[in-house]
């Protein structure tokens, strides 16, 4: 845990670096696996599943019997919790529906826009040290609401070749029935190229480690869209003397336990609070089952003291956190001035965990500073906007000369002719 007092603006960029591996080291591995999967399909995927996950599978397809058996092993209490989360996520994402937008831009010139679902989508659900069944809800629910026809889910198996019961239950609850036991780079490659079993998709969704993130970005070179670059989890908390140090510490640790490459940052205008939060983290760490993971992530954590709120918000916008928690007396200042963040949590009683699971917002968010340009997953992520136009004779008479003049000025005579011929025939 490093404490930095009033860092100079010229040092912010270095100070806010993420603890990630060098990109070139990752890209070489990703390119090799993509090439292998493209050429050898399922046999390559099986090889990497055994290599990385330790699972020797006869088939990577999850059957209906597998899903039913897994669902029966999930407790009633957890099923009810998942259903409540599903209900809230549905409410929030259904509210994001927008209707047809129609405008007569000039008399007789009618333009409109309509949304259409993306037909084939792939959902990547991390397994690893924490099988994220909550991510199934975050991706499958808006996909269903949007009307996507084919939803393919990939998630890594454990060494016994099994997928977490909760993941399969959540998938079944959301109507997903094409599920494959494949994770990591090879899953993204399979969804990109398609194999004898895994369908090729048009867009890939879901978070993952650095390798998965680079694999998703590589997929775009082969004509497959992605939701966003979403790598190791990160959280920034801004807090002053009014904050509860135990709450702040618990929020920081909630992200630190995601993985050793997660990053958590505290920005505060109170030196006393920084000390109190550090002490509280040390106490709470002792009780965590994932203590070793959280401890390694905390090594790269930063506690930054800044004397005024303007410097604080400027630094936060420079960092562009995936998750941003506000625990200050002057919360409106941060709410009104935050520009770069994935999702914002306000007040002492809004833990980041709420957004991860059950409040209704989506937890699939851009990381690594990509919040400066990307949004988190929402209903529009699963749709395309198509524009339409219809022009009457009267409309073309009005707008036609404008088109002719502009086309001629650009030296595109055929463009001009397409209008001129019509006008002469009127």
Distances in Å between the Cα of 177 and the Cα atoms of 11, 73, 79, 88, 186 are 50, 18, 18, 22, 20
* Residue 46 annotated in ligand binding: no
* Residue 410 annotated in ligand binding: yes
- Which tokens belong to 387? 């524009």
Q: CA-to-CA distance for 425 and 372, rounded, in angstroms?
A: 51
Contacts (Cβ under 8 Å, ≥6 apart) of 210: 20, 21, 26, 231, 232, 261
* Residue 363 annotated in ligand binding: no
Q: What is the DSSP letter of 309?
A: H
Q: CA-to-CA distance for 65 and 67, rounded, in angstroms?
A: 5
Q: CA-to-CA distance for 300 and 123, rounded, in angstroms?
A: 30
Our answer to whether residue 323 is catalytic in this structure is: yes
* Residue 93 annotated in ligand binding: no
* Residue 169 annotated in ligand binding: no
* Residue 209 annotated in ligand binding: yes
Which residue of the set 166, 280, 323, 352 is catalytic?
A: 323
Q: What is the DSSP letter of 9?
A: G
* Residue 255 annotated in ligand binding: yes
* Residue 356 annotated in ligand binding: yes
Q: Is there a contact between 219 and 191 (Cβ–Cβ < 8 Å)?
A: yes
Which residue of the set 234, 322, 352, 363 is catalytic?
A: 322
Find, among 144, 187, 185, 195, the residue nearest to 41 by Cα.
Answer: 195
Find the helix or strand (DSSP H, E) in which 37 lies. helix 23-40
* Residue 233 annotated in ligand binding: yes
Distances in Å between the Cα of 189 and the Cα atoms of 212, 222, 365 are 10, 10, 21
Binding residues for Zn(2+): 255, 258, 356, 415
Binding residues: 124, 186, 209, 233, 255, 258, 323, 356, 410, 415
Binding residues for substrate: 233, 255, 258, 323, 356, 410, 415
Q: Which residues are catalytic?
A: 322-323
Binding residues for NAD(+): 124, 186, 209
């Amino acid at each position: 845990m490093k404490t930095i007092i009033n860092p100079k603006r010229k040092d912010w960029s270095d100070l806010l670096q993420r603890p990630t591996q060098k990109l070139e080291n990752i890209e070489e591995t990703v390119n090799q696996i993509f090439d292998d999967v493209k050429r050898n399909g399922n046999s390559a995927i099986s090889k990497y599943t055994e290599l990385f996950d330790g699972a020797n599978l006869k088939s990577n397809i999850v059957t209906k019997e597998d899903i039913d058996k897994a669902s029966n092993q999930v407790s009633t209490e957890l099923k009810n919790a998942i259903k409540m989360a599903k209900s809230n996520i549905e409410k929030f994402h259904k509210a994001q529906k927008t209707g047809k937008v129609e405008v007569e831009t000039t008399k007789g010139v009618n333009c409109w826009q309509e949304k259409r679902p993306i037909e084939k989508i792939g959902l990547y659900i991390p397994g690893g040290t924490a099988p994220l069944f909550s991510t199934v809800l975050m991706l499958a629910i808006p996909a269903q609401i949007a009307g996507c026809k084919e939803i393919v889910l990939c998630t890594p198996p454990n060494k016994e070749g099994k997928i977490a019961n909760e993941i399969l239950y959540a998938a079944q609850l959301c109507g997903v029935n094409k599920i494959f036991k494949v994770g990591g780079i090879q899953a993204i490659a399979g969804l990109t190229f398609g194999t004898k079993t895994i369908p090729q998709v048009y867009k890939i969704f879901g978070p993952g480690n650095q390798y998965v993130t680079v694999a998703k970005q590589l997929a775009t070179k082969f004509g497959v869209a992605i939701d966003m670059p979403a790598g190791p989890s990160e959280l920034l908390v801004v807090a002053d003397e009014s904050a509860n140090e135990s709450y702040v510490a618990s929020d920081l640790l909630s992200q630190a336990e995601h993985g050793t490459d997660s990053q958590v940052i505290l920005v505060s205008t109170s030196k006393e609070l920084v000390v109190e939060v550090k002490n509280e983290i040390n106490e709470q760490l002792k009780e965590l089952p994932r203590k070793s993971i959280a401890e390694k992530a905390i090594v790269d954590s930063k506690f930054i003291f800044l004397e005024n709120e303007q410097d604080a918000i400027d630094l936060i916008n420079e960092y562009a956190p995936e998750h941003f928690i506000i625990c200050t007396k002057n919360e409106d200042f941060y709410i009104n001035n935050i520009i770069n963040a994935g999702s914002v949590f306000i007040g002492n009683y809004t833990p980041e965990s709420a957004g991860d699971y059950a409040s209704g917002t989506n937890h699939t968010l851009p990381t690594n500073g990509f919040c400066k340009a990307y949004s988190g997953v929402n209903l529009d992520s699963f749709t395309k906007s198509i524009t339409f136009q219809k022009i009457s004779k009267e409309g073309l008479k009005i707008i036609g000369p404008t088109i002719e003049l502009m086309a001629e000025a650009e030296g595109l005579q055929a463009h001009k002719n397409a209008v001129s011929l019509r006008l002469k025939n009127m």
